[in-house]
Every structure is written in structure tokens, then in C-alpha cells.
Amino acid sequence: MTKNKRSKVYTDAPKNISKSIFDGEIITDFLPPPEKLIRKEPKVKITITLNSGSINFFKKYARKNNVKYQAMINEVLDKYVQKYS
């Protein structure tokens, strides 16, 4: 077998790999299409007073995940509404 820069030889693959692939389970695509990931719900500005501990919690994790803490609070409220509606 001649090797070129693009071909690779895999030597540590199991001998029964074709059987594993054949017997494997096909998982249907569970991700939503991109157009369903974009939520264009209208927002309403409000003024609300929250406990400083709660705000500090959301600000801390918002910084870690590079998101706005208000968006995280909104997401929690949306999930609460979905569960109890």
C-alpha cells in the first residue's frame, strides 16, 4: 500500500468494526432546525426589586458563560411559566 499525505492507516481499530457499525443504533436527529432556535418574542421592560444574592448568582454565571444576566433570569422565568401553565 502506498501512502500519500492524505491517507491514514488505522491499526488499532477493532477487528469487528463492521459488525459494530452494522449492529449500531440509528438515532434520529433530535436538534431543532435553525429557524426554531431563534425566538422573536416581544419583550416588556419592567422594574423589579430582587434579592442581592439572587442577582449576584446570575451575574456570576452570566460572566462565566458570556451572556447577559437578565437573559438568564428571563429564561428561568420562561421555564417556570411553561411548567406551570
Per the domain annotation, does 69 fall within a domain?
A: yes
Q: What is residue 25's predicted lDDT score, i.e. its pLDDT?
A: 83
Counting the structural domains of the chain, the total is 1
Per the domain annotation, does 80 fall within a domain?
A: yes
CATH of residue 80: 1.10.1220
φ, ψ (nearest 5 deg) of residue 63: -60, -45
Per the domain annotation, does 50 fall within a domain?
A: yes
Q: What is residue 16's predicted lDDT score, i.e. its pLDDT?
A: 80
Task: Tell me the per-residue pLDDT of 25-79, one tens digit each, with 9 for 90 and over.
Answer: 888 877 777 777 667 788 899 999 999 999 999 999 999 999 999 989 998 998 8
Largest CA-CA distance found in the chain, in angstroms, rounded: 72
Per the domain annotation, does 11 fall within a domain?
A: no
Per the domain annotation, does 51 fall within a domain?
A: yes
The residue behind cell 452570566 is 62
Range of the domain at 78: 33-84
Neighbours of 72 (CB within 10 A): 16
Per the domain annotation, does 20 fall within a domain?
A: no
Which pTM was predicted? 0.54
